[in-house]
Structure formats: C-alpha cells, structure tokens
Chains A and B, each alone.
Chain A
Amino acid sequence: MSDAAAAHDHGHDDHHGAPAGWRRWVYSTNHKDIGTLYLVAAMVSVLIGGVFSFMIRLELQSPGLQYIEDLQFYNVLVTAHGFVMVFFFVMPALIGGFGNWFIPLMIGAPDMAFPRMNNISFWLLVVGLLLLMTSALVAGGAGTGWTVYPPLSNATFHSGAAVDFAILSLHVAGASSILGAINFITTIMNMRAPGMTYHRMPLFIWAMLVTALLLLLALPVLAGALTMLLTDRNFGTTFFEASGGGDPIFWQHLFWFFGHPEVYIMIVPAFGVISHVVSTFSRKPVFGYLGMAYAMAAIGFIGFIVWAHHMFTVGFNVETRAYFVLATMVIAVPTGVKIFSWLATMWGGSIEFRTPMLYAMGFIFLFVVGGVTGITLANAGVDIAFHDTYFVIAHFHYVLSIAAAFGILSGFFYWFPKMCGKMYNEGLGKIQFWLMFIGVNILFFPQHFSGMAGMPRRIPDYPEAYAGWNFVSSIGAYISFAASLLFFYIVIQTLRSGEKAPANPWGEGATTLEWQVPSPAPFHTHDQTPDMRPQPAE
C-alpha cells in the first residue's frame, strides 16, 4: 500500500484540490461533481418537460382546439414530455444525482469504482437529450408516444428523420445508463467499508443495487428492440411489418419487457430515499430492515415477469391473461411490506415534520393511491375498458410522475444541506410542499373521473361532457407549475444566502455515514476507509 501515494504523481495537479475552471466539470472524475452535474441536468430537463406538460394542460383546459391547430404537434408534445421526464428528469435525478453523490459516501468509499466511466455516463446523457430535442424539431417531430409503437413509428407513418433521432437518443441514453449501472453495481459489491455486509448496508444502497441490476438487464433489450425498429425503418427488415411476416405486437412485447422494469427503475431509488427520511425524522431505525431490502429485490424480480399487463387489449388467450393478472397482483405483496414498514417506522416515533418528512409522507400517500389504481388496472377485464383512457394517465402519474418526483424532492431537501453546505428556509420549504401537494392532487385526481367516463389519452380535443374535470385538472397544473417555480426560488435563495449547515442538521435519527463528514462534503471523502465492523462491547 505504501507505493499507492507515489503512483499518483504521474503528471497531475494536487490530487486533493479540485481542478480549477471548466475542466473541473467537463473532465470530472469526482463522484460529487458528477452527481451535481446530473442534478443540474435533471433540473433543466424538468423545466423543458414541465413546459411541455403546461402546454398540454393549456390545450386541454376546455373542449375544442384552443391553441394547437397541428395535431401532429400535440402528439410530439406528448411524446417529448414522456421521454424527457422519464429518461432525462427522474432517472438522472434519482440514479445519476443521488446515486453518485451518496453511494460512495454511504458505503465509505473514496469515489465510484470507475470515475472516468462515470463521467462518460453523464455526457452521453447530455448527447441523448440533444438528440431528443432535435427529434422534436425536425421533420414534423416524433409523434409516436413514448412507447414508439409500430406501425405509427414505421417509415410509412413517420417517414422523416424525427423517429430516427428519437431512437438514437434512447440508444445513447441507454448506453449511458448501462455504463452507470455497471459502475454502481461494481462499486456496491466491491467497495463497501469493512464490516458493511450486504445485510448491513443502508437501504438506499440496496435500492440503488436493485435499480442498477434492473437497468443492466432491461436496457439492452430496449437497445435490441430499437435496433430492429431502426433497420425496419431504414434497411428493409420486417420485424414489425405484418406484410413481411413480422408482427407489430412483437414490438410491444420487447418494449414492455424493458418498460415494466423501467417503471421500477424510476421508483425503487425513491423507496430507498423515503426509508432514510422516514427513519431520520421518526428518530427510529427502519422497521423490518431485511424485509424492506428483500421487498425491493422481490419487486425488481417480479417486474421482469409481468410486462404483458400493458398489452391486455392485443388479444391474448385467456391463460396468458390469467397469468399476467395474477403475477401483477403479486407485486402488491412486497409493495405492501414497504408501505406498512414505513408506517410501522413512524409508529411510536418522535416525528418531526420537516420538509423532507412532509415529502416522504406525501410520497407514501401518492404511491398508495397509484398502487390501488394499479391493482384495478391489473385486471385484464377491467383494463379492456380503461386501456388508453385518462384513468391510466392518472394511475401512472400518481406512481411515476408525482410519487417519483416527491421522492426526488424529499431526497433533495434531505441532502441539500450536505451537498451545498447551507440550510434551506424551512418555512418556505413547507409552503412549497403544501402548494405542490395540493397542486398535483387537483391536477391528477380528477383524471380518474374523466378516465372512468371514457376520455381517451393522447387526443387534444374532447366532448363537452369532460369539460368540468379537465378545467379542474388544468388549474391543478398551474398550481403545480407555481410550486415548481417556488422550488427553484428556494434552491437559488439557499445557495445565495442560506445559513451554514452543520455536518448533521437532522439530529440523532440520521445515522448513515454521509452525516459524519462535514457539510458541504469536501471534494474528497473517506480517504481513510471507515471501519464498520461491529465493535465489541466496552
């Protein structure tokens, strides 16, 4: 070990200071800087995706076509909104942002296993975002929805370059995520501090491990599917062309074999965040730690064998539908373990309602609402009626969009003092939470009603009968948008004039390793590996 220090002096500046100027960020091999870059990218993306959803709600505020004359443009809005939010907001924030920042801090490692590869994961994400924005701007845009189903996405119905840009955007973003997943898994498997066994790792680390495994197994299948679509469009293959012996349904199988794990990729990291926040602000260890860990593993595993519940309307035989209904409902069991364990963690705790805790409790409420409508939709018979209605929109926005976003916000308020070294204004944080909570519920809850009444998704016009709930929904969207702006104000205000944060602003409930380093966390942490082995009683 003695020559390790000598080996570091091959032509570089002081290893312990941050490299100065733009190189610090562009050439970065520091997990905290890269995590910050991911968080900034996610914030830019959520603004872009948020403007798209704002435009969608503006159009849907009343029946008839208000602002959007070109219906393909509406399709492009819907598509770009989905892609940006899934691949460039939720995933970069929860996985790239929090994962990079806190995996090494929590396991006692000096950095990620492959710091340089970590950097290319980030920059490939930026390239993916550029390609996606280009896809919305060229050749009339990609109006396929985020599911890119052929025949709509084939060369007949989208003959321009837009869908090709979208395909390559996902290819590049997928490569970024696969590299990130390899990095995360290797770091977690190999670099835990001595004594931190798998059964003693923080639950956020468990969440990131499960997420990274899902990424590793699901994204290459999407890559294969996208490649087939690309060759169908440009080189004359017929994977999804019935006229050439192919089958458009096969795209749906491939897409959802990726797509269902993908939705867990977005929510499992939030599970990890919520476990920490609930435990910290209840001043109790998480109830049923092992159950919580294995519930995430079980959710990840079951996530790979339920994909066809997204396709109940394509005409499966009854055995196939019965299997996918049953398998889907089984997910409720480990999910219930998680919900009840969070409640049991709070039970009897000395709960402090700081902003992160409010967001965590908001998460639990929203996730239960979305989970219950998920059980409803899991029934193949019911789904025939609900498929492609606003009920589905309401369901997956409750779980993925707003629950995942509440997970992000909970984690952000929880770890922001650690990341920037300053405390946000608690009063403003609470106001921001309530504004956001009220806004998103006014926005999405009425969509259950319009959906049950039969309002179809992805259509900019609707009959007079749906006007009431759509108007309410749009008002909710404007409130949520205002709450988002308030969030950005809080971020800027904290950075400019926040009070200095102590190493551990949350007190005895915050027990993980990241609270033992100063705030803001120095450029290099854990240069001396912490010893996590159980200490003999004194």
Chain B
Amino acid sequence: MASDATSKTHHWHVADPSPWPIVGSVSALVMAVGGIIYMHTGFIWGFVLGVVLTMYTMVVWFKDVILEAETPGLHTPPVQVGLRISFLLFIVSEVMFFFAFFWAFFHSSLPILNLVAGAWPPEGIEVLHTWDIPFLNTLILLSSGATLTIAHHALIENDRDRFLNYTLITVILGFIFLGFQIFEYSVAAFSLQDGIYPSTFFLATGFHGFHVLIGAVFLTVCYFRGRNGHFKPDHHVGFEAAAWYWHFVDVVWLFLFINVYWWGSSPLGHLQP
C-alpha cells in the first residue's frame, strides 16, 4: 500500500478497452425490437437473432474475464473481494425481482392486501398436488444444494475428482428438477390465460425455473473450468459465485413451495376479510 517511486502502486484491475459492451447493447436492441415484432406479428426470427447475439456477447465477454482470471496479477485478492461484493449485490437485485412476483401472489391471495380479492384458489382452478411433484422437486433441489456444498469442500481440500463428480451431480439434479417442472406444466389443469392464479403461478415458478437453468449452465461452465484446472483451493471466485447463485435459487424455491404450492393451494390458507 506504500506509495513508492514506481508509476503504479495500486493493485486494481483496470480492464482494457473492449468491443463487447457495445456489441451487447446492440444485441439487447435487436432482442427488444425483435421481441416486439414477435408479439405483434408472430415473426420470431428477429427475437431469436437478438437472443443468439446476446448469448454470443456473453460467451466472448466471459471468455475475456476467465482469461484475465488466469493471468497472474490481474485478479489480485482485493479485486476478488470486489467481484464477490458485486455478485452478492447482483443476487440482492434478483431477490427484489422475485419480491415483485411474490407481492403479486400475496396481493391476489390475501384479502387484507386487496379489497376486491376473491376466493383463493379461485373457483374453477384445480390446483397441483403439493406432495407429489412439487415436494419431489423440493427434495431434488435441496439435495443439489448439499452435493454442491460437498463439491465446494472438496475444492478447498484440493480433491479435484471429488469436486468434479459432485459438481456434475449437482448439474444433473438441476436438469432433473427442470424436467419435472416441464412435466408439471404440461399436465397442469390450467393454462396461462386462465386468470390470476395461473398468472402468478406461471410467472413466479417460470422465472424460478429460468434461474435454475442459468445456475445449471453456470455450474456446467464451472465443471469444465475445473477440469481445465482453473480453480485453486484459495482462488475460485467463479465457482463461489455459481454456488451462491445456486443457493439463492434454492431459497426462492423454498418460498415458492411453502407459499404458492402448499399454503396457496390449501383451503386453510384462505383468510376471510
């Protein structure tokens, strides 16, 4: 920390100029305009192009970040602290995103929040059975949290095989969860257009499922980075972030299970005004 005579004494990583931010912004523009064209005309390929461009941007951008992480002296310990802070802040913003959808659920189901609320579940809605697939998925996701923790401990103990195996098991559990959720959607007795119950149900659980997908992809990347020897017992911010993200997704699911699937589908849950 001492200010000696060299021209640079700080230990921060100031990234070099990069084309990816502008490429990413243009991709977002294409995705937005393409999405609007799709919603109003049914022509989907503009939106698909936007998604592909956005994913391309993420790949090349994150590739740069990984290269920097592998370059000694760039991701110094204080820079790693910054990366951790920023990822936690990102998760906080995600929590607030889900806050909006939980608010939608409670606004519709709790008459004390909404003077015009009807019965909950609304008449004519045949709800899913809490202790069938939803409970099975709860067990799957909680187990995946446990296997991920085993993987993390293996990484800290420098047991690479165990780390890779348990990361892979976690990813597989994540995809099994997603498979069950898709199955559940396909057999549900209601569809998205059937009023407020399916609106809150599909958007809350759908966004959660999308986050499970993101987390599983994130962990898959970590699996391959681990195979390439990127993670050291004392330097593995990428894996740590993926693990935090996975636990965040896990906790959101617990709230969904308890409130939407369990309390929200039981007649006991209905409070009269």
Name the CB-closest residue of B to A114: B86
A123 touching B85 in the complex, CB below 8 Å, given contacts A246-B196, A527-B7: no
**A228 on the B face (CB < 8 A):** yes
B94 touches A220 (CB 8 A): yes
A250 touching B114 in the complex, CB below 8 Å, given contacts A186-B86, A228-B100: yes
Which residues from B are CB-within-8-Å of A160?
Answer: 40
Which residues from B are CB-within-8-Å of A110?
Answer: 8, 10, 12, 14
Which residues from B are CB-within-8-Å of A233?
Answer: 39
B264 to chain A, nearest CB (A): 14
The docked-state distance in angstroms from the alpha carbon of A164 to that of B35 is 9
Which residues from A are CB-within-8-Å of B85?
Answer: 185-186, 189-190
B8 touches A4 (CB 8 A): yes
The docked-state distance in angstroms from the alpha carbon of A24 to that of B17 is 8
B24 touches A120 (CB 8 A): yes
A190 touching B104 in the complex, CB below 8 Å, given contacts A165-B36, A220-B94, A238-B196: no
Which residues from B are CB-within-8-Å of A27?
Answer: 17-19, 21-22
A26 touching B203 in the complex, CB below 8 Å, given contacts A4-B8, A228-B104, A245-B122: no
The docked-state distance in angstroms from the alpha carbon of A532 to that of B177 is 52
B39 touches A164 (CB 8 A): yes
**A12 on the B face (CB < 8 A):** yes
B199 touches A237 (CB 8 A): yes
**B192 on the A face (CB < 8 A):** yes
The docked-state distance in angstroms from the alpha carbon of A231 to that of B192 is 10
The docked-state distance in angstroms from the alpha carbon of A522 to that of B10 is 17
A216 touching B89 in the complex, CB below 8 Å, given contacts A191-B12, A223-B100, A224-B101: yes
Contact partner of B16 (CB less than 8 A), chosen from A29, A114, A123, A175, is A29
Which residues from B are CB-within-8-Å of A529?
Answer: 1, 3, 9-10
Which residues from B are CB-within-8-Å of A114?
Answer: 15, 82, 86
Contact partner of B8 (CB less than 8 A), chosen from A5, A186, A191, is A5
B103 to chain A, nearest CB (A): 7
**A254 on the B face (CB < 8 A):** yes
The docked-state distance in angstroms from the alpha carbon of A23 to that of B9 is 27
In this complex, which of A5, A7, A15, A216 has the most chain B Cβ atoms within 10 angstroms of its Cβ?
A7
B40 touches A245 (CB 8 A): no
Stretch from A124-132, A338-346, A373-381, A413-421 at the B interface: A124-132
**B28 on the A face (CB < 8 A):** yes
Which residues from A are CB-within-8-Å of B67?
Answer: 10
B104 touches A242 (CB 8 A): no
Which residues from A are CB-within-8-Å of B95?
Answer: 220
Stretch from B72-80, B146-154, B225-233, B240-248 at the A interface: B72-80
A residues 141-188 in Cβ contact with B at 8 Å: 160-161, 164-165, 168-169, 171-172, 175, 178, 181-183, 185-187
B100 touches A254 (CB 8 A): yes
A166 to chain B, nearest CB (A): 11
Contact partner of A130 (CB less than 8 A), chosen from B17, B29, B76, is B29
B193 touches A237 (CB 8 A): yes
A247 touching B108 in the complex, CB below 8 Å, given contacts A4-B76, A7-B74, A182-B89: yes
Which residues from B are CB-within-8-Å of A249?
Answer: 114
A256 to chain B, nearest CB (A): 12
Task: Please classify the interface of chain B as helix (H, G, I), strand (E, B), loop, or mixed, using the class held by over half of its residues.
Answer: helix
**A479 on the B face (CB < 8 A):** no
A residues 179-228 in Cβ contact with B at 8 Å: 181-183, 185-187, 189-191, 194, 216-221, 223-225, 227-228
**A348 on the B face (CB < 8 A):** no
A244 touches B16 (CB 8 A): no
The docked-state distance in angstroms from the alpha carbon of A254 to that of B81 is 34
B residues 18-33 in Cβ contact with A at 8 Å: 18-22, 24-26, 28-29, 32-33
Name the CB-closest residue of B to A5: B8
A10 touches B203 (CB 8 A): no
The docked-state distance in angstroms from the alpha carbon of A257 to that of B28 is 26
Chain B's interface size range is: 35 or more
B10 touches A126 (CB 8 A): no
Which residues from B are CB-within-8-Å of A172?
Answer: 28-29, 32
B86 touches A113 (CB 8 A): yes
B82 touches A216 (CB 8 A): no
* Contacts between chains A and B (CB distance < 8 A), count: 244
Contact partner of A23 (CB less than 8 A), chosen from B17, B26, B82, is B17
**A234 on the B face (CB < 8 A):** yes
B99 touches A220 (CB 8 A): yes
Q: What mask results when residues 77 to 114 of chain B are scored 1 for a CB within 8 Å of chain A, else 0?
A: 01001100110011011111111110110011000001
**B11 on the A face (CB < 8 A):** yes
A10 touches B71 (CB 8 A): yes
The docked-state distance in angstroms from the alpha carbon of A1 to that of B103 is 49
**B197 on the A face (CB < 8 A):** yes
Contact partner of A131 (CB less than 8 A), chosen from B15, B32, B98, is B32
B93 to chain A, nearest CB (A): 5
The docked-state distance in angstroms from the alpha carbon of A531 to that of B11 is 14
B15 touches A116 (CB 8 A): yes
Name the CB-closest residue of A to B202: A237
A227 touches B203 (CB 8 A): yes
Contact partner of A186 (CB less than 8 A), chosen from B7, B82, B198, is B82
**B118 on the A face (CB < 8 A):** yes
Which residues from A are CB-within-8-Å of B179?
Answer: none
Which residues from B are CB-within-8-Å of A239?
Answer: 104, 196, 199-200
Contact partner of A247 (CB less than 8 A), chosen from B25, B107, B192, B203, is B107
**B187 on the A face (CB < 8 A):** no
Name the CB-closest residue of B to A250: B107
Q: What mask results when residues 497 to 538 of chain A are scored 1 for a CB within 8 Å of chain B, else 0?
A: 000000000000000000000000000101111110000000
Name the CB-closest residue of A to B11: A1
Which residues from B are CB-within-8-Å of A474?
Answer: none
**A19 on the B face (CB < 8 A):** yes
B14 touches A111 (CB 8 A): yes
**A253 on the B face (CB < 8 A):** yes
In this complex, which of A124, A127, A239, A524 has the most chain B Cβ atoms within 10 angstroms of its Cβ?
A127
Name the CB-closest residue of A to B29: A127
The docked-state distance in angstroms from the alpha carbon of A189 to that of B92 is 16
**B268 on the A face (CB < 8 A):** no
B17 touches A131 (CB 8 A): no
**A401 on the B face (CB < 8 A):** no
Q: List chain B positions with a Cβ less than 8 A from chain A.
A: 1, 3, 6-12, 14-22, 24-26, 28-29, 32-33, 35-36, 39-40, 61, 67, 71-74, 76, 78, 81-82, 85-86, 89-90, 92-101, 103-104, 107-108, 114-118, 122, 192-193, 195-200, 202-203
The 7 closest A-B pairs by CB, nearest first: A224-B100, A245-B196, A123-B25, A120-B21, A236-B193, A7-B73, A220-B96
Q: Given A186-B89, A189-B85, 17 other A-B contacts at CB below 8 A?
A: A10-B71, A24-B17, A109-B12, A113-B82, A114-B15, A116-B21, A120-B25, A123-B22, A123-B25, A182-B89, A185-B89, A220-B99, A239-B199, A239-B200, A244-B199, A250-B103, A527-B9
